[in-house]
Amino acid sequence: MGSVKSDHMPNHTSSYNNNPLDPEEFRRQGHMIIDFLADYYRDVETYPVLSQVEPGYLRKLLPESTPKNPEPIETILHDVKKHIVPGLTHWQSPNFFAYFQCTSSIAGFLGEMLSTGFNVVGFSWIASPAATELETIVVDWLGDMLQLPKSFLFSGNGGGVLQGTTCEAVLCTIVAARDQILSKIGRENLIKLVVYTSDQTHSAIQKAAQIAGIHPMNVRAIKTSKSTSYALSPVSLRAQICEDVQAGLVPLFLCATVGTTSTAAIDPLESLCAVAKDYGMWVHVDAAYAGSACICPEFRHFINGVEGANSFSLNAHKWFLTTLDCCCLWVKDPSALIKSLSTNPEYLRNKATDSKQVVDYKDWQITLSRRFRSLKLWFVLRSYGVDNLRSFMRNHVKLAKLFEERVDMDKRFEIVVPKIFAMVCFRILPSALSETVYKNGKLGIVSEELANEANRKLLESINMSGCVFMTHAVVEGVYVIRFAVGATLVEERHVITAWEMVQKHADFMLSTWKVRPLLSVDFKNFVQTVPILL
């Protein structure tokens, strides 16, 4: 097949091919990219895991405008290595213990390549039948692995869809729940609808509620506590709902979480669903992080009670070797999504859709266009199989246990919440700081506020070293350091090195901890000495 050539195209360059998809040039450049990435993965742990650049660094390094003439791939890749790589925080580094990881794998990468290569837009069945049908198959495969009730699967009366992220999944379900209830009570009552979460629920729920038109004052983040391991209490939920009903409001939606961001807390699904059922509420289970682990029999009980929910989602890109983005959403009643999200313009009409015998995924999501995401999930499921996927996650849980044991042996630190999956929440104890103060010749009582500041400084110091990257959370006013194990390349040696880095920076911080009396309090008959970190 020929291609159009402009009379104004310069003939002096060999870096431009008139055919943007010339097979041989594609092969040549593709091999270069694969080699580049293979080297990147080989060397990734040698880079500072947290980027060390300053804001605005890249604009100073790159030209102010697009080049007039084409540039060869060799030059572009050189600049990627020189300018782009230093500005990356390396999520695939085995020293990355922050947030929740975004795992990768050869299978996930190759599936993504195929998806990008085919570049189909599977908004309806007829737009690419394989894209739709493979998606219905893989979501049922994964649903079976999780032992989800048949009511969530295409093989039952429900079905699944691959969204981009949890934010999209939650928004779709809130919109479906909203329209269901408003069809009964009238759209003028939108202002009365209430969404319920815990104070540990991801902020995605608040954003989704806002987009869906729920008044911000009607999003209830119910307080949790350490006594319940930061899980949402059914008693507290019912009390809040009763208060809202008495005020003339309408309970709409509950988001329960399996593996919260701050502490990996697990909400009690069965009892929460029972409360929600009494009020006719939609229940969505957000298992973005921990849902993947529930393919392991020893973790499956954490989603017991899911049969009482209306929808369930997890992020395969978090802990399932599938590259970003890939959020799996299952619903019991697909028609609820379709009624809220479908549009049927004449230019999209076709016999397959009119037959009502096919799935048109455009009606299950916010956008019209969609990527062929199921390819990469299919590659992962087939390439590794259930047993290897379970082993992958179990190894991370084991490594997190190793780190937890190290923390537990150092009496200067405490585990703030019990580890369940592969994340450890810990901090330096206020008492460790008090002891340091006392050794310097003064009686020091360190407040929680100052202990928080010490832990913040410790984390900042560790991260700026470039050797390890962790993030934090604040629970009940306590600043905790989160150590999340989940990188594809992580090994025991990386976990041990990370703990040694924590100890090294803690030793230095405590050795430079100075004190001076700032305020005296008589009612307790002691002098409070406020430590200042220099």
Q: How would DSSP label each residue in 372-441?
A: -THHHHHHHHHHHHHHHHHHHHHHHHHHHHHHHHHHHHSTTEEEEE---SSEEEEEE-HHHHHHHHHHTT
Asked if the model's pLDDT at residue 405 lies above 90, the reply is yes
Verify that 217 and 355 share a domain, yes or no: yes
The mean pLDDT of 458-462, rounded to a whole number, is 94
CA 126 from centroid of its chain's CA atoms = 32
CB 223 within 8 A of CB 201: no
Question: 18 or 410, which is more confident?
Answer: 410
Q: Kindly report which listed range (42-46, 347-351, 409-413) carries the lowest average pLDDT score.
A: 347-351
Verify that 237 and 286 share a domain, yes or no: yes
CB 482 within 8 A of CB 425: yes
User: Taking the C-alpha atoms of 312, 315, 320 and 321 in order, what is their torsion angle to the nearest 10 degrees?
Assistant: 150
**What one-letter code names the amino acid at 448?**
E
Verify that 322 and 237 share a domain, yes or no: yes
Three-state secondary-structure class, residue 82: helix
The residues pairing with 473 across neighbouring beta strands, listed in sequence order, are 480
CB atoms within 10 A of CB 17: 14
Distance between CA atoms of residues 489 and 129, nearest Å: 36
| pLDDT at residue number 2 | 38
| pLDDT at residue number 313 | 97
- Say how many CA atoms lie within 13 Å of 188 toward its Cβ: 0
Three-state secondary-structure class, residue 514: strand
Three-state secondary-structure class, residue 256: strand
| pLDDT at residue number 16 | 59
Query: Which segment, 212-216, 514-518, 520-524, is predicted with the most confidence on average?
Result: 212-216
Tokens in use for 135? 């998606």
- DSSP letter at 39? H
Verify that 392 and 372 share a domain, yes or no: no
Which DSSP helix (H) or strand (E) runs through 530?
strand 526-533
Residue 245 domain-assigned (yes or no):
yes
Verify that 338 and 292 share a domain, yes or no: yes
Distance between CA atoms of residues 369 and 375, nearest Å: 16
Verify that 360 and 400 share a domain, yes or no: no
C-alpha distances in angstroms, 521 versus 328, 437, 470, 529?
56, 18, 37, 10
Query: Which segment, 1-10, 65-74, 292-301, is predicted with the most confidence on average?
Result: 292-301
Verify that 367 and 463 share a domain, yes or no: no
Q: What is the mean pLDDT of the chain?
A: 89
Residue 217 domain-assigned (yes or no):
yes
| pLDDT at residue number 379 | 97
Residue 196 domain-assigned (yes or no):
yes
Verify that 289 and 347 share a domain, yes or no: yes
Question: What is the number of domains present in the chain?
Answer: 2
Distance between CA atoms of residues 504 and 467, nearest Å: 12
CATH number for position 129: 3.40.640.10
Residue 379 domain-assigned (yes or no):
yes
Asked if the model's pLDDT at residue 478 lies above 90, the reply is yes
Residue 435 domain-assigned (yes or no):
yes
Verify that 392 and 379 share a domain, yes or no: no
Distance between CA atoms of residues 407 and 428, nearest Å: 10
Residue 252 domain-assigned (yes or no):
yes
Verify that 431 and 378 share a domain, yes or no: no
Q: Who's near 42: CB < 8 A, 6+ residues apart?
A: none
Verify that 251 and 227 share a domain, yes or no: yes
The mean pLDDT of 239-263, rounded to a whole number, is 96
pLDDT 10s digits, 80-109 = 999 999 999 999 999 999 999 999 999 999
| pLDDT at residue number 530 | 33
pLDDT 10s digits, 328-383 = 999 999 999 999 999 988 888 998 888 989 999 999 999 999 999 999 999 999 99
The mean pLDDT of 450-476, rounded to a whole number, is 93
The mean pLDDT of 393-408, rounded to a whole number, is 97
| pLDDT at residue number 522 | 32
CATH number for position 393: 3.90.1150.10
The mean pLDDT of 500-510, rounded to a whole number, is 92
Residue 498 domain-assigned (yes or no):
yes
Residue 304 domain-assigned (yes or no):
yes
Which DSSP helix (H) or strand (E) runs through 327?
strand 327-331
pLDDT 10s digits, 301-336 = 999 999 999 999 999 999 999 999 999 999 999 999
Asked if the model's pLDDT at residue 5 lies above 80, the reply is no
Rg of the chain on CA atoms, in Å? 27
Q: How would DSSP label each residue in 84-97?
A: IGGG---TTSTTB-
pLDDT 10s digits, 143-199 = 999 999 999 999 998 999 999 999 999 999 999 999 999 999 999 999 999 999 999
CB 165 within 8 A of CB 286: no
**What one-letter code names the amino acid at 156?**
G
The mean pLDDT of 39-48, rounded to a whole number, is 95
Domain endpoint, select from 354, 384, 414:
384
The mean pLDDT of 504-516, rounded to a whole number, is 76
The mean pLDDT of 270-284, rounded to a whole number, is 97
| pLDDT at residue number 433 | 81
Asked if the model's pLDDT at residue 406 lies above 50, the reply is yes
Domain membership of residue 257 as a residue range? 109-384
**What one-letter code names the amino acid at 378?**
W
CB 10 within 8 A of CB 69: yes
**What one-letter code names the amino acid at 160?**
G
Whether a cis peptide bond, with omega within 30° of 0, leads into 79 is no
Verify that 320 and 421 share a domain, yes or no: no
Distance between CA atoms of residues 336 and 159, nearest Å: 12
